[in-house]
Amino acid sequence: MAVTRTATNVSAPGGGPQLRRFLQRHPGVMRLGVVLVIFIIWEIAARFLMDPDFISPPSVVFTSFGDLFTTEGVLSALGVTLYELAIAFVISVAIGVGVGLAVGLSRFAHKSFMPIVLLLYGLPQITILPIFILLFGINAPSKIAFGVSHGMFPIMISVAAGVQNIKPILLTSARSMGAGRWHILRYVIFPTMIPSLFAGMRLGMTGVLLGVLLAELYVSTAGIGYFTSVFTQNLQPTKLIGLVSLLATMAIVLNEVVRRAEVHYARWRD
């Protein structure tokens, strides 16, 4: 079944046939153009139409990054957040792979425990965020724990699924050549699992980002949450937007790193 686009090829707007043709061949450039237009609208609205107490234009935000960094504690808060993200991710992978393998390798274990895993994954974890804070305190451990709690499930599920899908002929073949349990784990199961693992890690990174950042925002007495709260209350939109933009950039970069890794390590699978 050929699923092709039903849309017609409407040509891009723009003055002059040269520009038009260029934009048509490079939708990526047009995309940048769209983003630019949004920034321009923001600039105009913030500068002329809205209350400067509540919003800042991008030009001001951009040029004031220096102020943000010199504000005491901001840089270290960002550093701590990055540290939390890294640790939470590593732990999520460790737990995700461990449980994923355990559940995926045994058909019985899979049937018994996977429904529980899926059930837990679907719960709105944000409701128990206050409990995490009460249990682990207002510093890094609670943010890491909450991040792990979000990030480990997609990895668990992906790894279990990947392991379940091993072609039986590969196991038979390895057995026939004398492979013992350890050999099979290391040379057959593990490589099979890698593409699923990386797909799971991509979702896991998204989860870790969500968990850690939510926890950070919730705790308004320390870390990033302290600063977002302070900047909001003191009507400092420039710094607030700057801070949030930095966090967003951090998130985009981390996501992209994991995505690239996934593409690289799943090369042989097509």
Nearest to 47 by CA among 227, 232, 237: 237
Number of C-beta neighbours around residue 228 at 10 A:
19
Q: Under the criterion CB under 8 A, does residue 5 sit at the interface with other proteins?
A: yes
Stretch that binds other proteins, among 57-65, 76-84, 152-160, 244-252 (CB under 8 A): 244-252
From 15, 16, 66, 127, residue interacting with other proteins (rule: CB under 8 A):
127
Taking the complex as a whole, the smallest distance from the CB of residue 190 to other proteins amounts, in Å, to 10
Q: Rank residues 24 and 64 by Cβ distance to other proteins and give the closer one.
A: 24
Q: Under the criterion CB under 8 A, does residue 4 sit at the interface with other proteins?
A: yes
The half-sphere exposure of 96 on its side-chain side, counting CA atoms within 13 A, is: 36
Q: Rank residues 111 and 260 by Cβ distance to other proteins and give the closer one.
A: 111
**What's the rounded Cα separation, in Å, for the pair 121 and 72?**
38
Q: Under the criterion CB under 8 A, does residue 234 sit at the interface with other proteins?
A: no
Kindly identify the residues of this chain, within the stretch 134-193, that bind other proteins according to CB under 8 A.
134-135, 167-180, 183, 187-188, 191-192
Angle of the 237-265 helix axis to the 190-218 helix axis, nearest 10: 170
Taking the complex as a whole, the smallest distance from the CB of residue 63 to other proteins amounts, in Å, to 19
Q: Under the criterion CB under 8 A, does residue 218 sit at the interface with other proteins?
A: yes
Q: Under the criterion CB under 8 A, does residue 269 sit at the interface with other proteins?
A: yes
Going by C-beta distance under 8 Å and a sequence separation of 6 or more, which residues neighbour residue 85? Answer: 147, 208, 209, 212, 250, 254
Give me 127's structure tokens: 């409701």
Strands (E), 181-222: none
**What's the rounded Cα separation, in Å, for the pair 211 and 219?**
13
> φ, ψ for residue 71 (rounded to 5)?
-60, 130
Q: Rank residues 34 and 263 by Cβ distance to other proteins and give the closer one.
A: 34
Give me 196's structure tokens: 């699923």
DSSP state of 12: P
Q: Rank residues 73 and 191 by Cβ distance to other proteins and give the closer one.
A: 191
Site string for other proteins, 36-75 (x = CB under 8 A): ------------------xx--------------------
Taking the complex as a whole, the smallest distance from the CB of residue 72 to other proteins amounts, in Å, to 19
Q: Rank residues 37 and 94 by Cβ distance to other proteins and give the closer one.
A: 37
From 19, 111, 257, 260, residue interacting with other proteins (rule: CB under 8 A):
111
**What's the rounded Cα separation, in Å, for the pair 152 and 159?**
11
Total number of residues binding other proteins (CB under 8 A)? Answer: 84
